[in-house]
Every structure is written in structure tokens, then in C-alpha cells.
Amino acid sequence: MRELPRTITEAAQKLRAHEVSAVELADAFLEAAAADPNNAWLRLEPDHARAQAAAADARLKIADAPVLTGVPWACKDIIGTKGIITTAASRILEGYTPAYSATVVVRLDESGAVMLGKTNLDEFAMGSSNENSAYGPVRNPWDPTRVPGGSSGGSAAAVAAGQAIFALGTDTGGSIRQPGALSGVVGMKPTYGRVPRYGVIAFASSLDQVGPLTNSVEDAAIVCEALFGIDPHDATTIDRPVDVRRDLDAGVKGLRLGIPREYFTPTGVEPGVTAAIRAAIAQFEKLGAEIVDVSLPSTDKGLAVYYIVQPSEASANLARYDGVRYGLRVAGKDLVDTYRKTRGAGFGPEVKRRLILGTYALSAGYHDAYYVKAQKVRTVIKREFDAVFEKVDALITPTSPTVAFPIGSKANDPLQMYLNDVFTLPVNIAGLPGLSMPCGLSEGLPVGLQIIANSYEERMLFRVAAAFEAATEHHRQRPMKDRAA
């Protein structure tokens, strides 16, 4: 095959025109992934992929085969896959093989998509750089000395490097959008409750959400339509319409787009990022949108809220890894010693840091002072978003304050690392949908534009994003071509 397709639409056209079979397409992507120099993959599953591709070829003979039939994709290794090792990039789950697949995997299986394998991530999705994996850091395809963003860095790098047409990630505080921004692809976090979490290894249950990483806005919408919908196994899911592509070509003329002033004032935002975002805002004005100055006064409280709620929920969720029921077991002289040795050997430094923070915040005497107060401020943040969305149709912000930074440059400074998510985590706190898409380059590296919509307004989110993508060429920039140049 001369050139691998980059989008779902392109792949679907080639498959239906019989220019390539699903098996041939899977083999081509498996070959590309096997040559990956960026440590994006933890394991490829050639036999599984070829079996799914063969089934897809049979299905493609039927006229009404779903659009994802035969399309190769990559699965973040925190999403459970029946019979296929799922580790969350942690030693404590080394060799763990789930007895069932996550609902999102089942839905993609039913759509005929072809899973190539499992991608690397920050351990238990705890990180903003994909340097915290027990299996080594992921490198950015644009510059292998830099991070791809995290925690879904392997998924983002695989899509950016052309090793999968789309990937699934999880987003707890920006873990789809931030690597999407730093790796130059589209990363989309749906409204909380849109996508079932059943079968996804839990990190922070009131914040986690599964979403796609793709090379186009339309692709993200296509994947979302396959994933969305109520699930009897997940009580947080809600039954809402899933046809989010209906207004993709409607444009933004007449829409009111809010610019939250607090997202443009923090120190640490690189000038190149600010310039690219300002240029994007000007483009929206040119397309006929009305730009509205708005305020979200509690934005600066988001980081503190997130780093109380998220570690607290993580400390409860990860208590199940005790060396007794499954996963790693390091025997001690008694039960408590077994717990200590198993968790000491199985968890990495960042996971331990967050578990300590969360356990402290939930402990007697501190629960009300930290966790309860954080939840109250969380409500304030959500109400501020609600008030703003009474005035505007969507919000435009940066995704990350910086472009991809050098590997190791922030590894010993947790606060600086946590600040990478300052623009993304309020979206999770409020349970809103958010999307990051390429909007230019700074120092030869991608800059991400974040679009935020009101709850369950993914149709509006994709409408705004599609209008910008159609008017610009940023999504066509490729890391290997730019580096070669």
C-alpha cells in the first residue's frame, strides 16, 4: 500500500471500493506499529486484529455495514479487553487478563472496527507527560526528545505517527485533550455519563470518561456515535440522542463564542501558544461568530479542587490492589506486611504520591476540611459554567499552557507537572464535553485549541470544531514531514 489512510472516512471509502481489504489494511498498520520508535505500544495483537479484519471483510460485502467496519484502532491499556493483557502500565497488574471486555470495546467490536493492540500510558492514568509508565516513557512523534502529553500519550502518539486511524483514551483531568494538543491530533472528552465506564480500570470515578483521539473532527464524532449510549452496567450513563454529526457543516455564523478571561491571564502560558489561540479566535470572527468576553472567576481554584477530589477517589479505587485477589503478590510475614510489600513493589512513585495525598484528604479530622470543601467549590465551578452557557454557545481556550516539553524537564517538580492541566481539568470538574484540535505551531511543535460546550451539547462542540478545521490547514500538518523538512 503506497500510503496508509489517515481518517475513518478515507479508510471506509478504500474498503468499500475494494482498493484494499480489511486484512491488508490491518497488516499494513500492524507493520507500521511494529516499527514504532516512540514506545507508544505496550503490545500488538496481530492474531486478534487479523481475525477481526477477516470478519470485517465478510461484513463489508453487506451494503449496510457500519462506517467503522474494517478500520484499525488502538486501545489505551487501561481499558479492559477480554483475553488480552490489560496492565494500566503498572507492575501491580503485570500479566492481568480480564475475563470480559469494557463496554466501549464491545461497542467497537460490534461496529466492525479492528483493534490492533494496547497503547502505553501514565501508570493508572496518573500523569500529564506519559513519563510515569512502568514500561518506559512515550516519545512525541514530532520530536522524540519531548513528551507526547499524558496520560493517553501512547494513543495520541500512535495516531499522530500514522500507526492507527483512531485510538481510545481516558480523560480524568485532561488526559485525552492534553496529549491531543501536544501530539497534534484531535482529542475529545465527552460529557460525563455519555460513555460507559464499565470495564475501564477505575482511577477517579466522578471524573473519568472515555473518548477518541483522531486525525479529524468528523472522525471523533463518528467514534463518539459508536460509543455513546446508556449501559445497564454503568449507573452514571444517560439516554440521550447520539447523532452528533448532524450539524457538522452548519458553520459558526451567528454563534456566540465565549473567551474566558481567566484562561488568558495565568503566568506560564508560552507566547507562541497565546499567539496561536489569538489567531484562532480571529479566524472564528472571520467565519461570522460573535466573540464574547466572559468570566469564570473560580478557575484558579480548579487545580486545588482537582488534586483533592482526584487523589481521594484514587485512594479508594486502588485499595483493591492488595496482593490477595489478583495482580502482583509479594508475600510478607503477615497480611499487613503482604499489603505493604505488594503495593510498595507494584506502584510507581507518582501513584504512591497521589495515594498518600488522597488517603490524607479522606482521613479522620481532615475529610471535612479538604474533601468536603473541595466538593463545595466544585459545585461553584459548575454553576459558573452553567451561568456562562446561558450567554454563549461554546467557549474557546488554550488546551495546554505550553507545547510539548523535553522528557525529564518536569519529572522532579510535581507542581509544574500538574499545572499542565490547568485549562483542561475544570471541564472534568464540571462534567462538560471538551475537544482539543490543532491550531498552529510554536517552535515547530503543535498548539492545541480547546473548545468547551455545555453538558450533552456534543453536537455544538463538533459544529464549532468542524468549522475551524474546514477553514484552516493545521490538521494536515504531519510530524514526520515537518521533521524531515
Q: Active-site residue 152, yes or no?
A: no
Compute the distance between CA of residue 378 and CA of residue 387 in angstroms, rounded to an integer. 14
Beta strands in 41-180 (DSSP E): 41-44, 72-76, 114-119, 166-170
Q: Active-site residue 175, yes or no?
A: yes
The catalytic position among 155, 175, 183, 436 is: 175
Compute the distance between CA of residue 155 and CA of residue 39 in angstroms, rounded to an integer. 11
Number of Cα atoms under 13 Å in the Cβ half of residue 324:
10
Q: Active-site residue 216, yes or no?
A: no
Compute the distance between CA of residue 97 and CA of residue 94 in angstroms, rounded to an integer. 9
Single out the residue of 179, 399, 384, 211 nearest to residue 301, CA to CA: 384
341-364 burial string, b = 16+ CB within 10 Å, else e? Answer: bbbeebbbebbeebbebbbbbbee
The catalytic position among 76, 118, 189, 410 is: 76
Across-strand partners of 167?
74, 213
For 275, the grid coordinates are 499567539
3-class DSSP state of 442:
strand
Helix residue spans in 97-176 (DSSP H): 103-111, 153-160
Beta strands in 96-165 (DSSP E): 114-119
Compute the distance between CA of residue 116 and CA of residue 163 in angstroms, rounded to an integer. 9
Q: Measured over all CA atoms, what is the biggest interatomic distance in the chain, rounded to whole angstroms? A: 70
Distances from the Cα of 184 to the Cα of 135, 395, 461, angstroms = 24, 20, 18
143 contacts 445 by C-beta, under 8 angstroms: yes
Q: What is the CA radius of gyration of the chain?
A: 21
Crossing angle (nearest 10°) for helices 217-227 and 103-111:
110
The catalytic position among 151, 312, 315, 455 is: 151
Write out the catalytic residue numbers. 76, 151, 175
